[in-house]
Amino acid sequence: MEKLSLNIMNQKEYWETKWKSNFPKDPNNFAKKTFLLTKNKDYKTLLDLGCGDGRDSIYFAKKGLKVTAIDFSENAIKQLQNKLKLGSIENIHPICQDISNLEFPKNSLDIVYSHLSLQYFNDKTTTKIFNKLHHILKNNGLIFIKCKSTDDALYGKGKKIEKNVYLLNNHIRHFFDRDYMKKKPEKFKILNLRKTSLVYYKYKSSFIEAIATKQG
């Protein structure tokens, strides 16, 4: 099977092109739910993994959180930086950084937010990322994850890279099933796990959402 590492450049080119396009300006519902579940707690810092052009980061910042927004697309980060200049928003720190090589101090963040950003890696790299997230999250901190599920209409299409990982139109997707989402963040305590779906570009897009906490 083809290794994902051979496709890193193709994926970077894909997202650099993708983030030249216009995307919705409003925060998505997963971001709104994340804030509702954390607003009455003593949380001050949030890491937005794969922030894109920053619509969710901006939402969290306007709600009073200090946000670190990372994405490996330079175009996405530039779009976010331009938005911050226009909106005079100061409590967001954009960083061009690959999720698979996170560099943050231990126990430095209250919340980790991942909207469709952890679904592009093989199992080995996904494990590495979850271990690093556990390292950088504070005790009793929360992590919010949403990924494509194996119920998705695109599941199984394209070239199989490894179990539940496919390459389609030069774009890699890792589809999570319920057991994988439950077991993979093994160092975290899962608080909530559920399947969701919506119609996206005329096909059913299916997801798995998880909320977990770091204890000890």
Q: What is the pLDDT of residues 15-52, one digit of tens each?
A: 555 555 555 578 999 999 999 999 989 999 999 999 99
**Looking at domain 1-93+171-191, does it have CATH number 3.40.50.300?**
no
pLDDT (average), residues 134-160: 96
Q: How far apart are CA 114 and CA 39, in angstroms?
A: 17
b/e per residue 43-72 (b: at least 16 CB within 10 A) = bebbbbbbbbbbbbbbbbbeeebbbbbbbb
Q: Are 161 and 1 in contact (CB under 8 A)?
A: yes
Closest listed residue to residue 194, CA positions, set 204, 208, 180: 208
SS3 content of the chain, % helix, strand, coil (to 5): 30, 35, 35
Asked if the model's pLDDT at residue 162 lies above 70, the reply is: yes
**Which candidate, 148, 145, 136, places its Cα nearest to that of 101?**
136
Strand locations in 149-179 (E): 159-162, 165-168, 171-174
Are β-strands 203-213 and 159-162 bridged in parallel, bridged antiparallel, or unpaired?
unpaired
pTM exceeds cut of 0.75: yes
Q: Is 200 exposed, middle or buried (0-12, 13-18, 19+ CB in 10 A)?
A: exposed
According to DSSP, residue 118 is labeled S
Predicted confidence (pLDDT) per residue in 53-64, tens digit:
999 999 999 999
